[in-house]
Amino acid sequence: MMTSYKIVGLLQACNFLLWERCFEYFCSVVDELYVRFDSANTPLEMKNKIISHPKVKKTIEGEYIPDGWSWREPLLRLLDKVKPDIVVVLDIDEMFDGDIKEEIWKFWKSDKKAMLCYYNQCPTETGERTDIYPTQPHMMVFKWMENLTYTNYKGYAQITNYANNPSLVWQGSVKVDHFCMWTKEMERIKKEQAIKKYGRL
């Protein structure tokens, strides 16, 4: 599909069993990628492979703070001079399950500013599906404009400027495969973490 707009990706990267699969997929979706490495959990070999990819334009590094937005804001600020048209945000353990480029094209032509994406049941190495996690849709695609921010964070990966405003939101039909429960051990750990943090999945 020929497009007249620029899609960039923002990625928080850390060591993960299927990181190469998810990373290469993300690169196939975007024109450029901007990456923040978890300084405590990114092996040097992984970091070097990511940095050497031609679509990766800039990387930064910092401690991962699981508050939902501290890692997002520094990545977003990298785009102040880039001024893209569309921004896609994925974690290193996520992929879209369908033609997200077609969905982005429809979204781009609309008057909406941000896209909420829903999650599938998590895929596993056996081919079966387990629980949906997270259960709520996240703002994974949005149109760039000046002064976007995650400060005063509203949850669910929402850009604060677009948060909780249904008139600005495109309801995505392409869902997200979240590989955080790929093995039985990963599933156990993820569920324990979610229940400890949220009291539920």
Averaged confidence pLDDT in the chain: 95
201 contacts: CB under 8 Å, gap ≥ 6 = 131, 132, 133, 134, 135, 191, 194, 195
Predicted confidence band at 201 (pLDDT cuts at 50, 70, 90)?
confident
Phi first, then psi: give them for residue 31, nearest 5 degrees. -85, -35
Give the 3-state secondary structure of residue 49.
Answer: helix
Tell me the H-state helices in the chain.
19-29, 44-51, 72-77, 100-109, 184-198
The pLDDT of residue 2:
54
User: What pLDDT score does 3 carry?
Assistant: 66
Pairing of strands 7-13, 86-91: parallel
* pLDDT digit string, tens, across residues 19-76: 999 999 999 999 999 999 999 999 999 999 999 999 999 999 998 776 668 889 999 9
Task: For the chain, give every domain's residue range.
Answer: 7-120+136-180
**7-120+136-180 adopts what CATH topology?**
Spore Coat Polysaccharide Biosynthesis Protein SpsA; Chain A (3.90.550)
Mean per-residue pLDDT, 163-180: 96
pLDDT tens-digit readout, 120-164: 999 999 999 999 999 999 999 999 999 999 999 999 999 999 998
CA atoms of 186 and 17, how far apart (whole Å): 10
Angle between helices 19-29 and 44-51 (to 10 degrees): 20
Supply the DSSP symbol for 168: G
User: CA 66, CA 88: separation in Å to the nearest integer?
Assistant: 20
Total length of the chain:
201
Residue 69 pLDDT: 82
CB 114 within 8 A of CB 87: no
Tens of pLDDT, residues 62-94: 987 766 688 899 999 999 999 999 999 999 999
Angle at 172 between CA 102 and CA 74, to 5 degrees: 95
Classified as helix, coil or strand, 55 is: coil
pLDDT, residue 1, reads 54
